[in-house]
Amino acid sequence: MTINPKQQFVDGTRQMLALSNDSKEVELLDISITTDPEVFNPDVFFSSQWFAEEITKLVKNEGILIEVGCGTGIVSIKAAKENPNLEVYSTDIIEKAKELTAFNAEKNNVGQRIHAYSGDVLDSIPKKLRADSIFWAMPFGYLVPEEEMKGKDTQVFDPGYRAIRKFFKDARNYLKDTGRLLIGFSVDIGHFDLLEEIIKENNFSIKLLNKTSGVEKDSVSMEIWEVK
């Protein structure tokens, strides 16, 4: 089966990424965030703030959250601030994102409960850790497998859904027996049929928890899916 990128959304997302060309201080959701052009900017993409608010509610009363693709740390920080018994393990493939998450966590007085790492998907997370929930706002922008990633593309695109495949292969090893995956996705921008196929290959099931819509370059949907 041939799967092609949704080029309208790919082009629009790249235009949005181009808006983040400097570091600055922003206030979002009562959180002080330092941004950097190398890292996904929650002030440009509405989805970051929506995910932060929703995940914070979903992990209420949980003990351990892993966030993959933490970026500036807005989701991890919001969840930790609102849930004082929560320990958060945050990781990103971009080293600068690890540094920013740690910096922003300290700035917002939750640095002791946010542990920042850098690595490919879950590779840098301590092997013995078992989480109640693992959240990832996935790089659902599909590119053909052979396309070379350049510049800011690594923030939002995943050629052939390589990283997504790796995530579902490895994620079970980091979950408690009762744990779950919380997936940020967009059926408008991403290829949901392919996501479902990967999930089924790894013997998981999926259900929709919540959805919204907003305007980036175009009007787009965003969803949170529970995978168990």
Query: Which of 126, 156, 125, 153 is closest to 138 using CA atoms?
Result: 156
Inside any domain, residue 91: yes
Write the CATH number for 122: 3.40.50.150
pLDDT tens track, the chain, 228 positions: 678 899 998 888 888 888 878 889 999 999 999 999 999 999 999 999 999 999 999 999 999 999 999 999 999 999 999 999 999 999 999 999 999 999 999 999 999 999 999 999 999 999 999 999 999 999 999 999 998 887 889 889 999 999 999 999 999 999 999 999 999 999 999 999 999 999 999 999 999 999 999 987 778 999 999 999
Inside any domain, residue 22: no
Inside any domain, residue 10: no
Inside any domain, residue 162: yes
Residue 207 burial by Cβ neighbours in a 10 Å radius (0-12, 13-18, 19+): exposed
For residues 98-120, b (16+ Cβ closer than 10 Å) or e, as one string?
bbbbbbbbebbebbebbbbbbee
Inside any domain, residue 210: yes
Inside any domain, residue 215: yes
Inside any domain, residue 31: no
**CB of 155 within 8 A of CB of 72?**
no
Q: Residue 206 belongs to what domain range?
A: 39-227
Residue length, the chain?
228
Prediction pTM value: 0.96
In whole angstroms, what is the distance from residue 52 CA to residue 196 CA?
24
Inside any domain, residue 5: no
| Number of domains comprising the chain | 1
